[in-house]
Amino acid sequence: MESKNSIINENNGVGYITYPNLAKLDFVRHASSVRKGGISKIPYLASMNLGFHTDDDTETVRENFRIFAKAVGIDVNDMVSSSQFHNANIRVATASDRGKGILKSADYEDVDALVTNEKNVALTVFGADCVPLLFADSKNKAVGAAHCGWRGTFKELAPLTVKKMKEIYNSNPKNIFVAIAPCIHCCCYEVDENLFTDFENKFPGIAQTDALRRENGKFYLDLPKINKQLLIKEGVPEENILISDLCSGCDPANLFSHRKSGGKRGIMASVIEIIK
C-alpha cells in the first residue's frame, strides 16, 4: 500500500494510517485501520475486522479492537463508537461514554457523528466504502468524527458536525482541520441516474465541479470531494482539508470495500482523541 498524502504506519505487524494535517496537532491522536493485523480467520474478514455486525464472533472483534488500539497508542477502554444508521444525528460524547459500542453495549443508537472536548474520549466511526471524517479544532481543542455514506453526504452531516462544534465548543471553522480517511472514490463509485440527478439538484454549485461525473452514459459520484466542498462552504479553509488518496475500491487487498466484495467484507475504523 502506497500513498502520496497519507502516512502508512506499522507497529508490531499492525498497519494503520494517519494524516499529516492532524499529525501536526500535538494535542490529538488519530488513526484509521486497514485490513491486516488482526485475528479474524474467516477469509473475507481476515484479519483486522472491526465490525460487530458481521460473521465474526464478538470476542474476536473486541480483541481486534484491543490490538488496533494498542498499536496506535490509544486505550481501548477510552474508545466510544458511533451507531450508524446513515442519518445526520450527532452525539456529544463524554467520559461516561467510554467503552460504549466496543467493550460494552451502547445506550444510544442512530448516531453517525460524535464530538467532544474531553481528554481521552476516543471517538470512533466505521466504514467499508463510506466516508469517515476526522475533525480537530486547533485552537479550542475539540474533536469530531463522522460517517458519511451517500445518505450522510446528501444530508450534509460533515458541515453539520462543524456547526455542532461551533455551537458547543465555540469553534471557528477556520481553525478546524479535517482528514477524510480512505473510502470509495469516484473511479469506483458508479451510481444510477436518479441518485446522480438528486445530487445535481441539491448541490448545483458542486455539480459544476468534477465531484459529479457523467462518462459514456454512466454516472459517478466523488463523495470525498463533495464532502470537501460542503466543508469549504461551511467555512473550513480548503488547505485544512485532506482527502486521503487511498480508495477502498482500488485496493481490496488492504482495505475493505462493500461494493467490490459484493457485501462480503469486514469493517474499518477511524478514531481521534484529545490526549492533552
**Model confidence, pTM:** 0.98
- Look at the block and give the residue holding cell 466511526: 125
Asked whether residue 168 is domain-assigned, the answer is yes
Would 178 be classed as within a structural domain? yes
Element (H, E) at 197: helix 193-202
Whether residue 217 is contained in a domain is answered as no
Residues 27-84 pLDDT 10s: 999 999 999 999 999 999 999 999 999 999 999 999 999 999 999 999 999 999 999 8
Segment 156-209, tens digit of pLDDT: 999 999 999 999 999 999 999 999 999 999 999 999 999 999 999 999 999 889
Q: What is the CATH number of the domain that holds 84?
A: 3.60.140.10
| 233-251 per-position pLDDT tens digit | 999 999 999 999 999 999 9
Question: What domain count does the chain have?
Answer: 1
Q: Is 208 domain-assigned? A: no
95-122 pLDDT tens trace: 999 999 999 999 999 999 999 999 999 9
Pairwise CA distance, residues 35 & 38, whole Å: 8
- Per-residue model confidence (pLDDT) at position 84: 87
Q: Is residue 201 part of a domain?
A: no
Q: Is residue 27 part of a domain?
A: yes
Q: Which domain holds residue 184?
A: 7-188+224-274
Cα separation, 20 vs 123, in Å, equals 19
Q: What is the mean pLDDT of residues 7-30?
A: 98
Phi, psi of 249 (to 5 degrees): -75, -25
Tell me if 158 is assigned to some domain.
yes
In a domain, 2, yes or no: no
